[in-house]
Structure 1
C-alpha cells in the first residue's frame, strides 16, 4: 500500500560561499595563484589591478541598490528572478561544470624538459654493436631499470616476460651477458640487482688503489659484516689495521647507493616552496607579513555594472537582453562572492599565523627548537575563535619564511609531556635534545636506547626506552650499532 506523508527535519548545509572559502584557505600560494587565474578566465566580470578613483563599494554598491530598488520590479515582471539567481542548495561551481562537455575543456599537460633516465640509457645503447635479439633484450632490461637505477627482478622472470610480451625466446645465460652491457652504461652502478652489486660495479670503475682493492674484497667476502658494522670481525678476518679499514670504508661511503637519483635529466616533479608568510625581527619584536601574492587587488568590472544600468534604462527589452541580464547578474554575484572569499582568506591566514607566532614567540626570537612550546590545533582554534579544521587547513599546507629558514607551519605543533619539575614541555624539545645528545656521543661507542633514556632522565626528561626508540626513528637516526664508526 502506497501513502504520502510530510516529514519536518532540521539540517545544516554549507552555502556555496562557505565551500569556496574553505577550498581557498587550504590552497598554498602557488595553487592559490592558479585558482585565481582560473577564476579570472572563467568570470569576465572579475578584474584585477587598482580601481579608478571611485571604489567598488561605492560604485557597484550604489548602482546595485538603485538596480535592486527600481530595476528589480521591471525585471521581475518579465523574468523569473529564480532563473538567474544562484541556488543556495547547488553551489555555482557545480552548475558551471555541467555547462561544458569534456571536449570543451582545454587541458594542458606540463612536461618536464630534458631527457628521461631511461631515454638516457637507451641513447647509450645505440653506441654498441648488438645482434637483433640482444638489442631487444637490452631495451627490455633498460625498461626494467627503476628510478633508483636498479633492476629488482629475477633473471628467470625476465626470460619469461620476454617470451610472453616481446615474443623473444632466450636463456638466462644470454640475459646475464646482455646485463653486463647494460651495467657498463652511465651512471656507474646502473642495472645492479642489489646494493652489494651496485657498490661493486662502481668500485670496479675506480682507479685500483690499496683501499679500493680492499673495499672490493670486503664487499665480496664480508658484505654482511660490513653492513652491520662488525668492524672487529673485519679486522680479524682480513688481518688489516684500523687505518686500512678506515680507508676502505671511506671509499665505499663515497659511492652512490642510488645511481638513478643522480641523473640530472630525471623527469621527477620538483616542488618549489613559496612562503605564505614572513616573520622578521625588528628592534627585538616579531613582525608578521602575508606574502603579497596572497593579497591580489580585485574588483568587479564596471562594464558589467554599466550593462545592468543600460538594461534598466532601456524601454524595449528583447528576449536576448533578458538572457544577457541573467548572465550578467550571475557573473556579478560570483565575482562579489570571490572577492569576499579572498578577503576572508587573507584575514583567516593572518589571524591564525599571528596566534601561532605569539604562542611560539621564544622560538621565533631565538631559533632554538628547544624553546618550542607544546601546541595543538585546539590551542590556536580556541584563541582565535575558529574551528579546528580551519586551523588545520592553514597549518598543513602553508610555509613561513623565518630568520632560520622556510618552515612548514605544522612543524610548530607538537604534543606535550611533563618534565621532572612538573612543567609541560614540547616533544619537539625532547627530540632536539635527543638529536644533540646523539650527535655529541663517542661514535666508537655510541649510546644505546637504554643509555639515551638515562641521559635524558639526568637532563630532566624522564621518558621510557621505547619512547626514545620512537623519537630516534622519527628523527631518522639508526640504532647504536649502525652509528658506530672506527
Structure 2
C-alpha cells in the first residue's frame, strides 16, 4: 500500500563559491597559472593588469577575520533587474587583488619572473628521432602511429594487428603486419634503450643488446633473462647459478648488470618523477638570525581585476534612457560575468591567506627543526594539531599539505613530510616516528649482510633503545623506507 509522508531533513551543501575555493586551495603553485588562464578564457569580465594597492600585500586582515574567514560583503539582490548597478561601477582600488604576495619584498617586476624549464615530452622525443631515419612518407606515418601507441612507461602493449587496423580505419593507410614490425624494430633502436618493448623481459633484453663491448657479465645476464627469466623474477638465484655452472663472483656481476637496467624507459620523461620532476616551491622559509621569515611564492599568479570594458557597458546602460528587454538581458549577462570574476578573485585571495595561515602554524609548531635542520627535532604532529591551532577543518589542512612544497635552507620538502605520529619512550617522552625510522635505517646499514636482521630482531633492538614498537609496526616502517625483508637482503 502506497502512502504519502512528510519528513524534515537537514542537509549541508556547498555553494559554487566554496567549491571553487576548495578546488583552488588544493592546486599547487606550479599549476595555479594554468587555472587562472582557463578562467580568463571562459570569463571575458576577468582581466589581467596591475592595480594600485594602498595596503601592504602581506597584510590580509582587512579581507579576513581572526578565524580566517573572508569579511562578508554586500550580496546582490534576488531580483537582478532592480539591483543597483553602482555596486558594479565602484572604484576597486580598495578591493583589488591584493593576494599577489611578493617573494622577496622588492618592487622589481623582473624578480617576479619564474624560470620555466623547457623540455620535450617522451613522445616528442621519440618523434624527433624519426627524422633521422630514411623513411618514405607512408613509413613515417606508420612510425608516428606506433610511437603514439607507446605508453608513458615506454612499452608498446598493443598488438601489431591493432595498429594495422588503426592505420587502415583512421588514416586510410593499408600496410601488412610485417611492415609494422619492421618499423617497430627501427623504433626499438631509439633512445632511451628498451623503448617499444611489449613486456619487461623484452625491455631488459633490448637494453642489453645496446650495451657495447664484449662484457662477459652482460653476456651471462642476457642468458639469464632469455632462458631463466621466470626463475630470476622469483629470485631463485641458487638454481640459476647451478644450471649455468657459475661461481659466486661471476653470477653476482651478471645480476648487478641486470639490476642496473631500467624497467621503465620512459620514466625519465615523467612529470611525476621525484628525481627528474621540476618542483616549484609554494613557500619559502628563511632563518634571519634566529627569526623565521615565511613568504608565499605567488610570482606565477598574475594580478587580476574586473574588466573596465564590462564596467563601461553597465555605465552606458545606466546612463541610457531607453531600456528594452534585450538590453536588460544583456545587462544580466554582464552582471553574471562580473560576479563570477569577483568570486574568482576572492577565491584566489582567500587561497593565499589560507595557505599562509596554515604554513605559519606548521612553521611555529616545528620551529626547532626549521632553525636547526635536525630531523630529530621534528615534533610529532598530525593534521588535527594544526586544524585546532588555526580553527579550520582537518580537510582544509589536508588539502594544503597534500601537494604543496616549502623551500628551506636544508632542502625543499612536501608539507606532508612534517606530519608524523608520536611514539612514547620508556621515560614517557613523545618523539616523532622519524626517530624510530632513522634507527631502523642505521641498524640495517650496519647489519651483517650474511645474516641480516629480521623484523623481530629489529623490534628487540628498538626496545633496548627505549622504544616499545610492535613487530608489525616495524615491518610497516621498514616498507615505508623501501627496505626489503631480511631474506632478500641476504648475500649468498
Shorter-chain TM band: 0.5 to 0.7
Structure 2 CA distance for partners of 1:317 and 1:476, relative to 1, 3 Å: same
SS of corresponding position for 1:274:
coil
Match among 312, 318, 328 for residue 323 of structure 2: 318
User: CA separation in 2, counterparts of 1:373 and 1:202?
Assistant: 46
What's the counterpart of residue 17 of structure 1? 17
What's the counterpart of residue 479 of structure 1? 485
Match among 371, 378, 388 for residue 377 of structure 2: 371
Name the larger-Rg structure: 1
- Is 2:217–2:250's contact at 8 Å kept on the other side of the alignment? yes
Residues 132-281 of structure 1 correspond to what in structure 2 (within 5 A)?
Answer: 148=153, 185-186=189-190, 189=194, 195=200, 198-200=203-205, 202-203=207-208, 206-216=212-222, 242-259=248-265, 261=267, 272-281=278-287
Please give the TM-score of this superposition, normalised by the length of structure 1: 0.67
The Cα of 1:268 is off from its aligned counterpart by 9.3
Residues 391-406 of structure 1 correspond to what in structure 2 (within 5 A)?
Answer: 391-406=397-412
What's the counterpart of residue 59 of structure 1? none
Higher mean alpha-carbon deviation, 354-363 vs 410-419, is at 410-419
Residues 462-473 of structure 1 correspond to what in structure 2 (within 5 A)?
Answer: 462-473=468-479
The Cα of 1:413 is off from its aligned counterpart by 1.8
User: CA separation in 1, counterparts of 2:402 and 2:320?
Assistant: 55
Structure 2 CA distance for partners of 1:331 and 1:364, relative to 1, 3 Å: same
State the Cα deviation string for residues 121-177 of structure 1 (Å, max 9, x = none): 98899789xxx9xxxx99999998765555779xxx9899999x999999xxx99x9
The Cα of 1:350 is off from its aligned counterpart by 0.5
Q: How many residues align?
A: 428
The Cα of 1:449 is off from its aligned counterpart by 1.7
User: CA separation in 2, counterparts of 1:169 and 1:236?
Assistant: 44
- Is 1:45–1:332's contact at 8 Å kept on the other side of the alignment? yes
The Cα of 1:472 is off from its aligned counterpart by 1.6
User: CA separation in 1, counterparts of 2:216 and 2:228?
Assistant: 17
- Is 1:32–1:294's contact at 8 Å kept on the other side of the alignment? yes
Higher mean alpha-carbon deviation, 365-374 vs 323-332, is at 323-332
What's the counterpart of residue 389 of structure 1? 395
Structure 2 CA distance for partners of 1:426 and 1:292, relative to 1, 3 Å: same
User: CA separation in 2, counterparts of 1:268 and 1:283?
Assistant: 36
What's the counterpart of residue 111 of structure 2? none
The Cα of 1:352 is off from its aligned counterpart by 0.5
Structure 2 CA distance for partners of 1:3 and 1:301, relative to 1, 3 Å: same
Structure 2 CA distance for partners of 1:268 and 1:192, relative to 1, 3 Å: same
What's the counterpart of residue 28 of structure 1? 28
Higher mean alpha-carbon deviation, 245-254 vs 138-147, is at 138-147
Unaligned runs of 5+ in 2: 57-73, 89-118, 169-173
User: CA separation in 1, counterparts of 2:486 and 2:420?
Assistant: 26
What's the counterpart of residue 93 of structure 1? none
User: CA separation in 2, counterparts of 1:455 and 1:297?
Assistant: 57
- Is 2:368–2:378's contact at 8 Å kept on the other side of the alignment? yes
Alpha-carbon RMSD: 5.1
Unaligned runs of 5+ in 1: 56-67, 87-110
Structure 2 CA distance for partners of 1:6 and 1:193, relative to 1, 3 Å: closer
The Cα of 1:305 is off from its aligned counterpart by 4.8
- Is 1:229–1:484's contact at 8 Å kept on the other side of the alignment? no
SS of corresponding position for 1:288:
strand
SS of corresponding position for 1:293:
coil
